[in-house]
Structure 1
Amino acid sequence: MTPFDWNFPTRLSYGPGRIKEVGKIASEFGKKAMIATYAKGSPLDPVIDTIEASLKEAGMDVVIFTGIEPNPRAQTIDKAIEIFNAEGCDMVIALGGGSVIDGSKYISATAFSGGKSWDYVVLGDRTPREYTGAFPIISIPTISAAGSETNAGGVITNAETNEKSFSRSPYRLPKVAIVDPEILKSVPLRLTQDSCIDIFSHLIEHYLSSHDESEFADRMTEGMILCVMDNFDKIINDLENLEVRGQLALCSIFGWSGFQALGRLGSIPMHSIEMPLSAYYDLPHGRGMVVVIPAYLEHLSDALPHRWAKLARRCFGVTEQDDAVAAKMLAGKVTEWFKRTDSYLTLSDVGIPDDKFEQMADDVVRMFPVGGDQVATPGARPVTKEDIIKVYELCK
């Protein structure tokens, strides 16, 4: 196993109705909160009202910032930062999915540390600005997908340059995550399908990109994959099932917490390949992963065949004993699962043409370089521009 350091400092407050406790919880960390969320006019409007009332009942002042987009724009986040500082806020309450929570991390840390949100992201050979601290964050996920509610990562998009990138900082770890399945049950079917596959993408990224071995991490990952698969079948037939929503919430949280990679931390090649799809076409990230995963698994099956084969056998019922053959079967098994849950999508299905494949591949190589024509997250093997174009081709 690889040496590692890991902790889980975010407090989880789970259960139906826990949203009403936000005032009591938030008052431990500040006196004036910014509620950061999506644009008004959605099913979340009553939840915003509930949060605001709870905060005021606890004696707190409230500023509401609406309009954070899916694939949050750095330009929008910078507006929120200006308001946060002008109003003298001292904490952020993030109500939304990964986009809102990621955006809120940039609000809290950039407001504290100065500059613009885009200053801090990984971008080619530029040295990102470093945070000096962050204001407290309370995350309230409205969908189980990215796991952003309990981790230090965050992705934003520069709408002016069509670039999407990320940064990580322990300063941005949410203090508390309030996970209320009463909110999660409102997620519609297509978003639920995308979110389950997003969880799956997180679980397999490190599993299939590390050359180190950790049976503990493998078994934890495999268990969560099986849990996602079992509950995926249940939730698409009963969207308001609170118990199932709760199971998926835990898979989302721990599937991207580092817990799933203890002793064999890997990299995120699939996410790097997906990012231009979101940046150029505003494709929701989870839907982008639905498109990319089968193609990536097919094209890279010969990179670490024993890892591909292990996942195929332990989670997808493959009995073939030859690793090379079993590895090639994984993409087909995953595709079968996506189709069985009516989740499978291609680039054509989401309206993305094939005229920017080379440009998008160039962006990945430029933004996440290792050297030469490799990317920053080499994965099972160094991923070249040609590899990226081939994956896009297989996504059509």
Structure 2
Amino acid sequence: MTPFQWNFPTKLTYGEGRISEAGAIAKEYGKKAMIATYARGGFLDPIIDKVESSLKAAGIDFVTFTGIEPNPRSQTIDKAIEQFKAEGCDMVIALGGGSVIDGSKYIAATSFSGGGCWDYVVLGDRKPREYTGAYPIISIPTVSASGSECNAGGVLTNSETKEKSFSRSEYRFPKVAIVDPDLLTSLPMGVTKDSCVDIFSHLIEHYLSSHAESEFADRITEAMILTLKDNFDLIINNLEDKEVRGQLALCSIFGWSGIQALGRTGCIPMHSVEMPLSAIYDLPHGRGMTIVIPPYLELMADTLPHRWAKLARRCFGVTESDDLKAAKMLSGKVVEWLKSTDSYLTLSDVNIPSDQIEKMADDVVRMFKGPEPDTTPGPRPVTKAEIVKIFEMCK
């Protein structure tokens, strides 16, 4: 195992109806909140009303910023930052999916530290600005996917340059996550499927990209993958099953919390390859990962075949004893699983033209530079030619 440091500073408040505690919880962290959420006019409207009512009952002043997009735009977040400071807010309540929670992290930390939110993201050779602190964040997830409600990471999209990137800061851990399964049952089928694949992508990234070994991390990850698979089958047959929603919520939270990588932290090549899909075409991130995962697993199987084989055997029923042969079976097994849940997709299914493949590959190696020219970090450097091949295999 490699040396590591890990903590889980977010207080996890779980249970049906616990959204009603938002006001009492907020009272511990400030006097005036910004509720950051999606645009009104959808299924979240009554949930926004409940949070506002809870804050009023607790005597907490607030402003509500609506309009954060899926794949949150830096331009929108900068507007929220301006309002946060102009209104004298001292905490952010993030109500929504990973996009809203990610955007709220940038609101809280950039309002405290100065500048614009895009100043802080990873972008090629540019040195990102560093945060000096953040206002408190309370997260209320309405989607179980990214685990953003309990971690320090966050993605951001620049709608002017068509770039999507990320940053991470210890200052941005939410203080409290209110995980209420009553809210999660409102998710439609399409978003539910995307979110399950998003969780899966997080669970396998470090598992398949680290050269270190940690049986502890492997067993935790495998247990969450098996739990995810079982509950994916259940939730698509009953979207309102609160018990199943709760199980998926825990897979989401701990699948990207760091505990799944203790002693073998790796990198995120599949996420890097997906970034142009959601940046340029505004594709939901989980849907983009659905497209990218199978060809990546197929093309890169010989990189760390013992890791691919281990995952194939323990989570997908492969019995082949030869590591390389077992490794090459993993992609097919994942495709079978995705098809069994009616989740499998290709680039043509989402109308992304093949003539953009070269440009998307250029974006990946430009923004997320590997140790060698025209590469992005992976279990070994992933070349631009291989990224092009992955996209071609997605067609």
- Residue 355 of structure 1 deviates from its aligned partner by 1.1
Q: Which amino acid aligns with 1:265?
A: T
Say which SS state the counterpart of residue 133 (structure 1) adopts: coil
Superposed counterparts of 1:1-396, under 5 Å = 1-376=1-376, 378-396=377-395
CA distance in 1: counterparts of 2:260 and 2:371, whole angstroms: 28
Query: 1:326 & 1:370 partners in 2: Cα distance?
Result: 28
SS of equivalent to 2:382: coil
Distance 1:195 1:369 in 2: 28
Q: Distance in 1 between matches of 2:375 and 2:110?
A: 27
Deviations 1:227-270 (A, max 9, x none): 00000000000000000000000000000000000000000000
The amino acid across from 2:341 in the alignment is: T
**CA–CA distance in structure 2, aligned partners of residues 156 and 189 of structure 1:** 25
CA contact (8 A) 1:208 1:379 kept: no
Shift of residue 372 of structure 1?
3.4
SS of residue paired to 1:356? helix
3-state SS of 1:92 partner: strand
Moved more, 378-387 or 76-85: 378-387
1:38 is displaced (CA, Å) by: 0.3
Work out whether residues 297 and 331 of structure 2, in 8 Å CA contact, stay in contact via their aligned partners in 1.
yes
Deviation by residue 1:170-204 (Cα, 9 ceiling, x = unmatched): 00000000000000000011111110010000000
Q: Are 2:371 and 2:381, in contact at CA under 8 Å, matched by a contact in 1?
A: no
Preserved contact between residue 366 and residue 374 of structure 2 (Cα < 8 Å):
no
Is the CA contact (8 Å cut-off) linking 1:373 and 1:385 kept in structure 2?
no
- Structure 1 portions without partners, runs of 5+: none
**4+ residue runs over 2 A deviation:** 370-376
Where does the alignment leave 5 or more consecutive residues of structure 2 unmatched? none
Q: Which amino acid aligns with 2:73?
A: R
Deviation at 1:374, TM superposition (A): 4.5
What CA distance in whole angstroms lies between the structure 1 residues aligned with 2:381 and 2:127?
22
TM-score normalised by length of structure 2: 0.99
Q: Percent identity?
A: 76
Q: Quote the Cα distance in structure 1 between the aligned partners of 2:268 and 2:373.
A: 17
Q: Give the root-mean-square deviation of aligned CA atoms.
A: 0.7
Deviations 1:131-172 (A, max 9, x none): 000000000000100000000000000001010000000000
Q: With structure 1 as the length reference, what TM-score do the two structures score? A: 0.99
- 2:372–2:381 CA contact under 8 A, matched in 1: no
* Cα distance change of structure 1 residues 374 and 2 upon mapping to structure 2, 3 Å threshold: farther
User: Any conservation in 2 of the 1:149–1:174 contact (CA below 8 Å)?
Assistant: yes
Q: Is the 8 A contact 1:374 1:382 kept in 2?
A: no
Q: Secondary structure of 2:348's partner?
A: coil
Structure 1 residue 380 displacement after superposition: 1.8
Q: What letter corresponds to residue 76 of structure 2 in structure 1? A: T
**Whole-Å Cα distance in 2 between the matches of residues 370 and 322 of structure 1?**
31
Distance 1:340 1:64 in 2: 41
CA displacement at 1:84 relative to structure 2: 0.2
Question: How far is the alpha carbon of 1:375 from its aligned partner?
Answer: 3.8
- Tell me the distance in 2 between the aligned counterparts of 1:350 and 1:128: 33
| Amino acid of the structure 1 residue aligned with 2:266 | G
Matches of 1:371 and 1:321 in 2, distance apart? 34
Structure 2 CA distance for aligned equivalents of residues 251 and 278 of structure 1? 23
2: CA distance, partners of 1:339 / 1:155: 28
Q: For 1:370 and 1:182, how far apart are their aligned partners in 2?
A: 43
Alpha-carbon displacement from aligned partner over 1:11-32 (angstroms, at most 9, x marks no partner): 0000000000000000000000
- Partner SS for 1:35: strand
Distance (Å, rounded) in 2 between the aligned partners of 1:305 and 1:384: 19
CA apart distance, 1:224 = 0.1
Distance 2:123 2:378 in 1: 18
For the residue of structure 2 that corresponds to 1:349, the secondary structure is: helix
Question: Which residue identity is paired with 1:235?
Answer: I
C-alpha deviation, 1:37, in angstroms: 0.3
